[in-house]
Amino acid sequence: MFLDELPEFPRNVLEVLRQPLEDHMVTIARASMSLSFPARFMLAAAMNPCPCGFFNDKSRECQCTPPLIQRYIAKISGPLLDRIDIHIEVPAVQYKELRGGAAAEGSAEIRSRVLAARERQRQRFRKFGDKIYSNAQMTTRQIRVHCELGADAERLLERAMQQQGLTARAHDRILKVARTIADLEGAEHLTVSHLAEAIQYRALDRSYWA
């Protein structure tokens, strides 16, 4: 499911997504009965940094006041953002980049790496008898087993948790993303670089909610 201009949705509508994102179930309650249905889906969303779209833009001036920006982004609650594994800032593409050469890596190569990473995950969880198929499905117990950290990585994660005020849910999602980054590289163990990259994918925590 792709939601464009995320803050333009009513906040009460967005908050309804919290439970399906967590439990992968949606419950419909009526006077005579309550029914639950499976709702495992991938959520992708996009938003501007402010109503005019130019906050932190190097080439154009933002006309929005701080209170206006705060009201704009306040429609997205911290608990909802907590349930989104990756959020990154995408700056405007410069002219030279638009007119540049071919991409460093083609779609076929990317697809090959992704399929190899998915197969690596499938084999890992089958070997341990876990009834899951991808890193995103790991429980807290499985994270402890499959996402062991060295001393340096532990210190890095602890510092990020303290400085950014990250929650326990964000902690687990960072480890899942780091495990996936390692799988894409074909690495057996998590390293500091895998963890650092995963932490960088919590951009909105640093920008607005930290």
- Which stretches of the chain drop beneath a pLDDT of 50? 209-210
Say what the pLDDT of residue 46 is: 94
Same domain, 21 and 71: yes
Same domain, 125 and 203: yes
Three-state DSSP string of the chain: CEECCHHHCCHHHHHCCHHHHHHCEEEEECCCCEEEEECCCCCEECCCCCCCCCCCCCCCCCCCCHHHHHHHHCCCCHHHHHCCCCECCCCCCCHHHHCCCCCCCCHHHHHHHHHHHHHHHHHHHHHCCCCCCCHHHCCHHHHHHHCCCCHHHHHHHHHHHHHHCCCHHHHHHHHHHHHHHHHHHCCCCCCHHHHHHHHHCEHHHHHHHC
Same domain, 61 and 137: no
Same domain, 129 and 190: yes
Assigned domain for 129 exists: yes
- Angle, helices 107-127 vs 168-185, to 10°: value is 110
Say what the pLDDT of residue 73 is: 86
Q: CA-to-CA distance for 112 and 187, rounded, in angstroms?
A: 16
Q: CA-to-CA distance for 29 and 83, rounded, in angstroms?
A: 23
Instruction: Give the residue numbers spanning the domain of 14.
Output: 2-25+37-84
Same domain, 126 and 204: yes
Same domain, 74 and 122: no
Same domain, 126 and 77: no
Same domain, 134 and 199: yes
The token duo for 179 is 């495990």
Same domain, 75 and 119: no
Assigned domain for 98 exists: no
Same domain, 125 and 192: yes
**What sign for the dihedral angle of Cα 77, 177, 199, 168?**
positive
Q: CA-to-CA distance for 90 and 103, rounded, in angstroms?
A: 17
Say what the pLDDT of residue 210 is: 45
Assigned domain for 92 exists: no
Same domain, 65 and 114: no
Same domain, 75 and 145: no
The count of domains in the chain is 2
Say what the pLDDT of residue 45 is: 95
Q: What is the pTM of this model?
A: 0.86
Q: CA-to-CA distance for 119 and 59, rounded, in angstroms?
A: 44
- Classify residue 3 by burial, with Cβ atoms within 10 Å: 0-12, 13-18, 19+: middle
Assigned domain for 30 exists: no
